[in-house]
Amino acid sequence: MARRGRRRLVVPGAEAQMSAFKAEVMRREGYAVNPSRPDDVKYEVAKSLGVPLEPGYNGGLSTESAGQIGGQIGGAMVKELIRMAQQKLADQNQPH
């Protein structure tokens, strides 16, 4: 069964911050990101992977192809979150 709609964040109102985080992470990954439209980076990621993603309906796109795009973006975001958490832990363990 196809999932309809968008995922909802646990923290209401955090959408803008998560979009900004995505934009920053993907910019660091080397993608051109329009800060006012960070979700559009998926088209650039798709192009770099050779996936024919277009604005609008992409019903012919395979699940595997869609997953490659999402995995590239989400994976980069998760790596950055882990790096940030490790840094925070390291900073907390420093003698004051």
The mean pLDDT of the chain is 89
Q: Per the domain annotation, does 1 fall within a domain?
A: no
Alpha helices in the chain (DSSP H): 15-28, 41-49, 63-92
pLDDT tens-digit map of 22-59:
999 999 999 999 888 988 999 999 999 999 999 999 99
Q: Per the domain annotation, does 3 fall within a domain?
A: no
Number of domains the chain contains: 1
Range of the domain at 76: 15-53+63-92
Q: Per the domain annotation, does 79 fall within a domain?
A: yes
Q: How far apart are CA 85 and CA 52, in angstroms?
A: 35
Q: Per the domain annotation, does 58 fall within a domain?
A: no
Q: Per the domain annotation, does 33 fall within a domain?
A: yes
Q: Per the domain annotation, does 10 fall within a domain?
A: no
Q: How confident is the model at residue 96 (pLDDT cuts 50, 70, 90)?
A: low
Indicate whether 6 pLDDT > 70: no
First to last CA, the chain: 54
**Model pTM?**
0.79
- 20: Cβ–Cβ under 8 A, 6 or more apart, which residues? 35, 38
Q: Per the domain annotation, does 8 fall within a domain?
A: no
